[in-house]
Amino acid sequence: MSHMMQPGIILLRDGTDTSQGKGQLLSNINACTSVVDVVKTTLGPRGMDKLMHDGRTATISNDGATIVKLLDIVHPAAKTLVDIAKSQDSEVGDGTTSVMILAGEFLKEAKQFVEDGVHPQVIIKSYRLAASLVLNKLKELEVDITKSGSKTTRDLLVNCAGTTLNSKLIGGLQGQFFAEMAVDAVLSLDEDLNIDLIGVKKVQGGAMQDSFLVDGVAFKKTFSYAGFEQQPKSFKNAKIILLNIELELKAEKDNAEIRLTNPEDYQSIVDAEWKIIYEKLDKIVASGANIVLSKLAIGDLATQYFADRQIFCAGRVAQDDLNRVSKATGAQVQTTVNNVVPEVIGSCGAFEERQVGNERYNIFTGCPNAKTATIVLRGGAEQFIAEAERSLHDAIMIVRRTVKNQRIVAGGGAIEMALSFYLRDYARTIRGKSQLIINAYAKALEVIPQQLAENAGFDSTDILNQLRHKHTQEDGLWYGVDINNEGITDTLKSFVWEPSLVKRNALSSATEAANLVLSVDETVKNPKSEQEEHQQMQAGRGRGRPMM
């Protein structure tokens, strides 16, 4: 190779692409900005939705985390935005779009300084200072809703859930309806507030208003054998047994090898098989249960046997549904039917099999220790119900967070304006470059109210000026964008509330992400890893084919 003759050290393999310095940093900032440009129009009550199509399925969503997951972003720097959106989603559940917009705006503000030759570390240091000041101020400003006294906790939680749903597809008319549903679902849980115990089932057809909350468990009718239709379809004060056993004839002979010398012995083997399954069934009946649910299959013999004895059974019940039934009714999953003690049998006030749309659902209500709930969502298009489910997830997460940590701030951009005003004030008291950078951070915070106004089709410059002016006054602390009347309003009074945790997480994540991008000044793209990936993919495709 001719270049080996040149003096100097060849450190990286042939074809390695390196780019570094100021140009690299600016290109990373631009990449992040273009991702933010995609999601920023989805912010707020008047935000637009995105339709993502991967060749097979179409997804309509305005949830920041969902959009960036589906965008399949390959730029290494822009991936940090995807990560903070995911982290915000798993940590708090809402504010995924806000966190990306803030990070993008911090970078946009930093871009000017980078172009002017300010060292990125100077910007990072000032951003860190600004973030810690802002988070401390947030602690001072947050309002403890338990002390508001005038309203019940449930009403306060409904307000928070309503604010989250405002910006979703199911906001507007159904916002209040679903906000109450989310609150009731969370309040039915125990102290752990385990969200997995809230089941969400989707049934196409009907209107969104036909959705309902089951204070207990609901799941779709499972695969059933002959004899199922003769079983009773509703019980009062039902006794429930949960199994992890296959009740089928073939289950016995699968596990045994038999060698016979005398053909007459074969009949006794067959009889033994029947005897074993009948013994199991008798023991289940003797337990007094009139609803039998199993994670494994319940065959036609067993189904008919239960039908003759007026017992309802369902096999192949999904694990998470089984867990919910267990939690609600107090039944414990059994792996044997020997010695079924009364303590492991659950109970519920009412059980019925009900038609929902074109599906049949098993519904358990009136459970003694219902620490679980199921939301059955109805609606037209499949994509619509899927987006409704994502929106409800956000609302449920927000309610859960607010129950755990009852401190809120006003939404509608009010808290960002208050923090921005506070930072500008602080910047006047210091000298040097830091003053300019903290001012830039303060300006970046204004992007939230600005974008809210823009997405609603208002004159954002005019509204921002009104807000800046209002926040200089004593009573202006909680003023944000008034979406309904194109102006500004006290969003604390108009119940546009968000848990302060959402803002805390969003601000710290966005600052960290911006600092992370600013601290990178070189990208090394190694061709080797790409080749290896390609080879592995090819090998993976080749595998799995049967040898001829």
- Helices within 120-174 (DSSP H only): 120-141, 153-166
* Amino acid residing at 269: I
Which residues sit opposite 379 in a β-bridge? 204, 205
Task: For 421, list phi and psi in degrees, rounded to 5.
Answer: -60, -45
Residue listed under structure tokens 């966005």 = 510
**Burial group, residue 273, by CB count within 10 angstroms (0-12, 13-18, 19+):** middle
Q: Which residues of 347-371 are buried (b: 16+ CB within 10 A; e: fewer)?
A: bbbebbbeebeeeebbbbbbbeebb
Residues 6+ apart with CB under 8 A from 14: 1
Query: Within 10 Å of residue 129's Cβ, how many Cβ atoms?
Result: 17
Is 335 tagged catalytic?
no
Is 254 tagged catalytic?
no
Q: How far is the CA of 257 from the CAs of 247, 248, 252, 270, in angstroms?
A: 20, 18, 11, 13
Point out the catalytic residue in the list 33, 42, 59, 63: 63
Point out the catalytic residue in the list 33, 42, 66, 97: 97
Q: How far is the CA of 496 from the CAs of 102, 148, 474, 481, 504, in angstroms?
A: 20, 15, 20, 10, 17
Angle between helices 79-91 and 21-39 (to 10 degrees): 50
Cα(507)–Cα(296) distance, rounded to whole angstroms?
Answer: 48
Is 365 tagged catalytic?
no
Point out the catalytic residue in the list 96, 164, 222, 329: 96
Point out the catalytic residue in the list 89, 394, 482, 490: 394
Cα(350)–Cα(232) distance, rounded to whole angstroms?
Answer: 13
**Burial group, residue 140, by CB count within 10 angstroms (0-12, 13-18, 19+):** exposed
What tokens appear for 185 in the block? 């679902």
Cα(39)–Cα(110) distance, rounded to whole angstroms?
Answer: 20
- Cβ atoms of 349 and 233 closer than 8 Å: no
- Which 3 state secondary structure label does DSSP give 118? coil
- Share in percent of the chain as helix, strand, coil (round to 5): 55, 15, 30
Is 402 tagged catalytic?
no
Provide the total of helices (H) and of strands (E) in the chain, helices listed first.
18, 19
Query: Within 10 Å of residue 333's Cβ, how many Cβ atoms?
Result: 18
Residues forming the active site: 63, 96-97, 394
